[in-house]
Chains A and B, each alone.
Chain A
Amino acid sequence: MSGRSLFDKVWEQHVVLPENADTPAILYIDLHLIHEVTSPQAFDLLRANGIKVRRPDLTLSTMDHSTPTVPVSTLKELKIVAEPEAFNQIVQMEKNCAEFGLKLRGLGNPERGIVHVIAPELGATQPGKTIVCGDSHTSTHGALGALAFGIGTTEVYHVLATQCLLQRKPKTFSVNLDGQLQPGVTAKDIILGIIGEIGINGGTGHAIEYRGETVKQLSIEERMTICNMAIEGGARTGMFAPDDATYEYLDGRSQAPQGDAWDHALKRWRALPSDDDAQFDKEATLDVSKLRPMVTFGTNPGMVIPIDGTIPSASDKGFSKALDYMQLEAGKPLAGTPVDIVFIGSCTNSRLSDLRAAANVFSGRKVAEGVRALVVPGSAQIKREAEAEGLPEIFKAAGAEWREPGCSMCLAMNGDFVPEGKLSVSTSNRNFEGRQGKGARTILASPLTAAASAINGVVSDPRTFIS
């Protein structure tokens, strides 16, 4: 028998009942993250069927998608700034959490933020845990060696009621990263490069493990950016094996194990990495030393080129529809295209290291005339940390807006949106038609590329800003 992968080990440790021909496995969930958008209908089902939340202690609740990014700490203030539907959704979240005995990190809470940012930040995300959330970017938590994936609202209901899910075991996919990144090339460029390579459906039915020589050079925050977009390659999850960087990241965080429990946990975590002879159902390799800053030109994350490349041509209908929508032409470079909006934020790129990278480019420079630049930290804690370092002063001096934490312009549910027809360079994860607002045109890029584009007013290569 061949060795087991990281994924196999975490999966097996959580099987309550194994799968067979007739029924899927019952998988135990260690941490359930909930937010205001995909939970209300699940709470309605609990209510209708008289079911309680089985493990409030394993449920972490916050609000992020519909919340405004202007300062609001009470419902009264919220009512003034939020659109009525967003207001209702937030009020309903407060009611649901109160009724079912869940601690909510809501408006004004110092631990509020984007759900995929706060769980690692609190130390709730840990190696070997199973983590789910009604949000496809739950794969982010795989950066610490957790098995984490997005679920629908019916499954949110199942987990609230039983702390379990019915699942068929996916196949495994080893994505090998070799080489060393060049200056100005980031984790975001790695994941865009991977998606360009495997395609947006390349990971369908698979759990990715990112492996190879490059891994040890990547910080936990960089690994989060890479895991975050596993779903953009079709995979439900992406994972990195835990290592010393993981343990160093977790040590001392409020929900991480302490004292003897920490020593026990370390022993368990150290046994998680894939065995040397582990077999994977699929493999791909990327030499990251050859990567350049990557930018998308179309309407899905697989339509991606290096910043100094030209827009390819293809004859299929979807491809020409995408270029028509983006108002771009095959054969032309993307660099130099005028930009209207720059968004730095989202569960992909709103952590302190992302903000520092952007600040380095903004420092001592001005956002080009006519460009609106928005910097949205991922959590209240990141906001405080950035403020302690003086980052907001750099953003504001450059002419960028510094906002309250939330999902914001990534999916335009909270009042922050890209107006119809405008071109946005965004550090978020999806460039689908209308994702950032009806008719919005989105170019996905790293925080460095986004900041460089804000300064120049056109899509720009950040390497000219790197000394």
Chain B
Amino acid sequence: MEPINKIISRTVVLPLDDVDTDQIIPARFLRTIVRAGLGENLFADWRYDQDGTEIADFVLNKPEASGAEILVAGRNFGCGSSREHAPWALLDYGFRAVISTEIADIFRSNALKNGFLPIVVDSKTHNWLLANPGVKISLDIESSTLILPDGHSASFPLESFSQYCLLNGIDELGFLMDNSAAIDAHEEQAH
């Protein structure tokens, strides 16, 4: 994983609550044995009609969405299944962060392990972002702060170990492996 310190990008706004993982990447695209290539089918059923033609009024199909790396979505983003294919699809498409007032537990955990930022902000900041699609904002990992174009900022919670791993590009497995003696001891005592 590459270290991440700052993401500066325009936003794309998907103003729907409860966007579930079946919308992010429908189950029929989970019959893959690799993680690459899922971006093509990100939000597939909202993006394409029956013939596979792009649906013009879906937000990702609008010209202004091109190149944006931050998705602003409604409350409770990522609810549903544990499929890590959801953050993989968002990353593969080109997104690097999602902003909401609430993000589902398993999605959040999966996202952080892939360097995709699940950002939870207060509802005032969220409402402003929903009302102002396409603004260029900055996400600073070290200070866990979102900075708006007018200089206003809002802090967001970021679990300390995940923050450390993001800033240093570290895979969490290393930490587990480093504690193998403690794992051995636990197995010895418990089993």
Q: Please give, as numbers and ranges, the residues of chain B lying within 8 Å of A418 by CB-CB distance.
A: none
A204 sits at the interface (CB 8 A): yes
Q: Please give, as numbers and ranges, the residues of chain A lying within 8 Å of B113 by CB-CB distance.
A: 152, 154-155
Instruction: Report yes or no: A162 in contact with B176, Cβ–Cβ below 8 A.
Output: yes
A76 sits at the interface (CB 8 A): no
B6 sits at the interface (CB 8 A): no
A234 sits at the interface (CB 8 A): yes
A114 to chain B, nearest CB (A): 15
> Within the complex, which residue of A26, A89, A134 is in contact with B182, where a contact is CB–CB below 8 Å?
A26
Q: Report B68-124 residues with CB < 8 Å from chain A CB.
A: 74-76, 79-84, 102, 104-106, 109-110, 113-114
Instruction: Report yes or no: A318 in contact with B16, Cβ–Cβ below 8 A.
Output: yes
Interface stretch (choices A179-187, A348-356, A428-436): A428-436
Instruction: Report yes or no: A28 in contact with B190, Cβ–Cβ below 8 A.
Output: yes
Instruction: Report yes or no: B17 in contact with A318, Cβ–Cβ below 8 A.
Output: yes
Q: How large is the interface on B (under 10, 10 to 19, 20 to 34, 35 or more residues)?
A: 35 or more
Query: Whole-angstrom distance between the alpha carbons of A22 and B172 in the complex?
Result: 13
Q: Is chain A's binding surface mostly helix, strand, loop or mixed?
A: loop
A217 sits at the interface (CB 8 A): no
A158-B18 CB under 8 A given contacts A26-B179, A135-B82, A201-B79: no
Instruction: Report yes or no: B26 in contact with A21, Cβ–Cβ below 8 A.
Output: no
Q: Please give, as numbers and ranges, the residues of chain B lying within 8 Å of A38 by CB-CB distance.
A: 82-84
Please give me the residue from chain B that is nearest to A203 by CB atom: B105
Q: Report A126-168 residues with CB < 8 Å from chain B CB.
A: 134-136, 138, 150-155, 157-158, 161-164, 166, 168
A236 sits at the interface (CB 8 A): yes
Number of A-B contacts (CB under 8 A): 173
Query: Whole-angstrom distance between the alpha carbons of A234 and B75 in the complex?
Result: 13
Instruction: Report yes or no: B84 in contact with A432, Cβ–Cβ below 8 A.
Output: no
Instruction: Report yes or no: A162 in contact with B172, Cβ–Cβ below 8 A.
Output: no
A415 to chain B, nearest CB (A): 10
Instruction: Report yes or no: B45 in contact with A434, Cβ–Cβ below 8 A.
Output: yes
A166-B175 CB under 8 A given contacts A24-B159, A66-B31: yes
Instruction: Report yes or no: A40 in contact with B33, Cβ–Cβ below 8 A.
Output: yes
Chain B 11-22, CB-CB to A under 8 Å as 1, else 0, gives 000011110101
Q: Please give, as numbers and ranges, the residues of chain B lying within 8 Å of A17 by CB-CB distance.
A: 179, 182
Instruction: Report yes or no: A163 in contact with B183, Cβ–Cβ below 8 A.
Output: yes
A279 to chain B, nearest CB (A): 22
Query: Whole-angstrom distance between the alpha carbons of A317 and B19 in the complex?
Result: 13
A201-B32 CB under 8 A given contacts A22-B164, A26-B176: no
Q: For the complex, count residues of A whose C-beta is within 8 A of B.
A: 65
Instruction: Report yes or no: A158 in contact with B30, Cβ–Cβ below 8 A.
Output: no
B78 to chain A, nearest CB (A): 10
Q: Report B153-191 residues with CB < 8 Å from chain A CB.
A: 159-161, 164, 172-173, 175-177, 179-180, 182-183, 185-187, 190
Q: Give residues in B with beta carbon < 8 Å to A.
A: 15-18, 20, 22-23, 26-28, 30-35, 45, 50, 74-76, 79-84, 102, 104-106, 109-110, 113-114, 159-161, 164, 172-173, 175-177, 179-180, 182-183, 185-187, 190
Q: Give residues in A with beta carbon < 8 Å to B.
A: 13-14, 16-17, 21-24, 26, 28, 37-38, 40-41, 44, 65-66, 83, 85-86, 88-89, 92, 134-136, 138, 150-155, 157-158, 161-164, 166, 168, 170, 200-201, 204-205, 231, 234, 236, 300, 316-318, 321, 411-413, 420, 430, 432-435, 438-439
15 extra interchain contacts, Cβ-Cβ under 8 A, other than A13-B190, A21-B160?
A: A16-B183, A24-B161, A37-B30, A41-B34, A41-B84, A135-B82, A162-B177, A162-B180, A200-B18, A234-B79, A317-B15, A413-B31, A430-B80, A432-B23, A434-B26
Pull 6 A–B residue pairs with CB atoms less than 8 Å apart, ordered by A. Answer: A14-B190, A201-B104, A231-B80, A413-B28, A430-B22, A435-B27
